Amino acid sequence: MPHRRRETAIVSKRLVAEEGQNHRAFAQYSRHLSPVDATPEPGSCTFVAFGLEPGRVFGAAVLKRETVIYKVLRGPMSSDRETAMESKAWPFEQARQLLDHVAGQPDDQPVLFETGYGPSGLPHIGTFGEVARTSMVRHAFSILSDRPTRLIAFSDDMDGLRKVPSNLPNQELLEQNLNKPLTQVPDPFGTHDSFGAHNNARLRTFLDQFGFDYEFYSATECYQSGRFDETLLRVLNVYEKVLSIVLPTLGQERRATYSPFLPICEETGHVLQVPVLEVNEQAGTIVYQRDDGKKVETPVTGGRCKLQWKADWAMRWAALGVDYEMAGKDLIDSVKLSSQICRALGHAPPAGFNYELFLDEKGEKISKSKGNGITIDEWLRYASPESLALYMFQNPRKAKRLYFDVIPKAVDEYVTFLQKIPEQDGKDQLSNPVWHIHSGAWPHESMPISFSLLLNLVSASNAHDKETLWSFIHRYASDASPENHPILDRLVGYAINYYDDFVKPTKSFRAPSDKERAALEDLATRLEHLKAEGETGAEAIQSEVYAVGKEAEFENLRDWFKALYEVLLGQSQGPRFGSFVAIYGITETLALIRKALSGEDMLTSS
């Protein structure tokens, strides 16, 4: 029998037990493991279960004298942890990869996550997406491991201002300070010490608004305080190696003048892109030539130089010990190059993955400079942050349209997932996006109606305030109120905004055909009968709507429902019609039908 041992290993990835591949795998984790005295006969394959004090090993396989350790967890394995080890939700897949990546580190060393921000512009929807997704992976990791974690939001505020964004005030002031570090450019808004400080404050307010748990790091502070000095000197030591990595990726003209170091001119304060003539490792300096021909020697430490961004990214990973950072698909080549530089500095690059970019309504890539797509403030006018987080969670490696028309679906999908999760078992809960959006602590609230139904309720009722809509909701869910349904109350406000801005301007009613007119008259008669019998439930109404369509011999019942939406609501699709009538009211729906049949202008009531 195998002997008991005291030590616990932390390994998540199942290692395939194939001859010739296991010595390296076992060696990678051997310093975490005590020796196993029991040795099987050559050619045998045995499943071994270990008892541990105080933890336990989940399992190990021995094949042809080669040991493969898998699913080895520190301490007793909780049901959540065991389930998370098998979960196919992408945050858990990323967390398991990260667990392998940091396997050789001390148990008490925090695992460091990072997101980056360029403060030449304001935080945007992509900023939210990257921090939200990274936070999801961080929480998933916390389920798999007891190791502490940290998340750094890093601002590249020492970058030079290369051009003046057209949407900023005081253009002339900014023009006068081009090429200076953003933290040395005066704030065009006049509220902070610098343009960089202004945008950093906006970033922190932005992240705080969504409740993200993070630490803010400023590139200017890191360079000037000496935090990066040791690693900057290491870049100087491997200067030629860095050049050999970067130069093959550059054009001939740029290759002739490239240096990873960008000196800060003492006279102008500009971030200079100039040739480096000499590298003095012992002194920790470089010699560069200014545009006027003057040669200047400057230390690379203390904020007197910064690095070109790909080298800067790698240096930051090494200096801070970053373990995980994701990036957009457009940065795949940059991640590869920065990873090479990081290895040249003697550090392993972080784990991570590349997410796809968002597309606008035309299917073109969203660009800050073009201003296409949707801003985060616009999304939050029409829907909750949680619905946006859901959109970020879903299919991160798939290019998706990010425009106003995706909002109603995102809201209703969030509500659907929220309603499902209390009834799900542990496995399905860990795959439910709501679990990741709320870090396992989701709000508990029943949702009697959908967002799409609210939109149609606004459309039919001409409601412009919450009170009117709530009067309809009470008919359907008498116990619901803004106080005990705060999520629904917020959806009511979002529905009014979305209807006013997007639905109302595009409404287009049409007159019914003869066949549709006859069906509407039949529906009105049936609704009158239901009203008289007190049958006002959604299911009873829906049954009658179906019956009318069938008796009117619509070849496809979808054509009947489409006619209802186009004639009565001025749109080609809508919610389940029986539910709509139940909430809006039979009397009010009869009034809509009579108005359509009489040929009145439907827009006057909507």
Q: What are the tokens at 96?
A: 């398991």
Total structural domains in the chain?
5
State whether 202 and 266 are in the same domain: no
State whether 580 and 534 are in the same domain: yes
Mean pLDDT of 310-338: 97
Is 493 inside any structural domain? no
Confidence check: pLDDT of 24 > 80 = no
Confidence check: pLDDT of 72 > 90 = no
| Domain end point (choices 437, 460, 492) | 437
Across the chain, mean pLDDT equals 85
Binned at pLDDT 50, 70 and 90, residue 36 comes out as very low
Q: What is the dihedral of CA 447, 449, 453, 459, to 10 degrees?
A: -100
Mean pLDDT of 128-147: 96
Is 453 inside any structural domain? no
Is 390 inside any structural domain? yes
State whether 566 and 547 are in the same domain: yes
Q: How many CA atoms lie within 13 A of 192 on its CB side?
A: 15
User: Residue 32's pLDDT is what?
Assistant: 35
State whether 363 and 349 are in the same domain: no
| Domain end point (choices 400, 421, 437) | 437
Is 478 inside any structural domain? no
User: Residue 575's pLDDT is what?
Assistant: 77
Binned at pLDDT 50, 70 and 90, residue 370 comes out as low
Confidence check: pLDDT of 597 > 50 = yes
| Domain end point (choices 77, 106, 128) | 77
Is 449 inside any structural domain? no
Mean pLDDT of 591-600: 91
Mean pLDDT of 68-74: 34
Confidence check: pLDDT of 122 > 90 = no
State whether 243 and 209 are in the same domain: no
Confidence check: pLDDT of 7 > 80 = no
Q: How many residues does the chain have?
A: 606
Backbone torsions φ then ψ of 581, nearest 5 degrees = -65, -40
User: Residue 117's pLDDT is what?
Assistant: 92
Contacts of 574 by beta carbon, 8 Å cutoff, 6+ apart? 452, 456, 561, 564, 565, 580
253: containing domain: 229-307
Residue 74's closest CA among 106, 44, 40, 115?
106
- Percent above pLDDT 70 for the chain: 85
Write the DSSP symbol of residue 404.
G
Is 70 inside any structural domain? yes
Confidence check: pLDDT of 21 > 60 = no
State whether 303 and 313 are in the same domain: no
CATH of the domain at 125: 3.40.50.620
Write the DSSP symbol of residue 52.
B
Higher pLDDT, 43 or 554: 554
Is 444 inside any structural domain? no
Confidence check: pLDDT of 45 > 90 = no
Burial class (CB in 10 A: 0-12, 13-18, 19+), 385: middle
- Percent above pLDDT 90 for the chain: 72
User: Residue 102's pLDDT is what?
Assistant: 97
Q: What is the dihedral of CA 233, 234, 238, 241, to 10 degrees?
A: -120
Confidence check: pLDDT of 53 > 60 = no
Mean pLDDT of 151-174: 94
User: Residue 368's pLDDT is what?
Assistant: 57
State whether 206 and 336 are in the same domain: yes
User: Residue 30's pLDDT is what?
Assistant: 33
pLDDT tens-place string over residues 510-561 = 999 999 999 999 999 999 999 999 998 999 999 999 999 999 999 899 999 9
State whether 143 and 219 are in the same domain: yes
State whether 129 and 213 are in the same domain: yes
pLDDT tens-place string over residues 470-499 = 999 988 888 999 999 999 999 999 999 999
Higher pLDDT, 308 or 12: 308
Residue 493's closest CA among 330, 357, 380, 394?
380
CATH of the domain at 529: 1.10.10.350
Is 487 inside any structural domain? no
State whether 192 and 300 are in the same domain: no
State whether 137 and 268 are in the same domain: no
State whether 40 and 107 are in the same domain: no
Q: What CA–CA distance (Å, rounded) separates 500 from 118?
A: 35
User: Residue 71's pLDDT is what?
Assistant: 32
The pTM of this model reads 0.82
Structural element, H or E, at residue 138 = helix 125-144
Segment among 3-17, 390-404, 524-538 with least mean pLDDT: 3-17
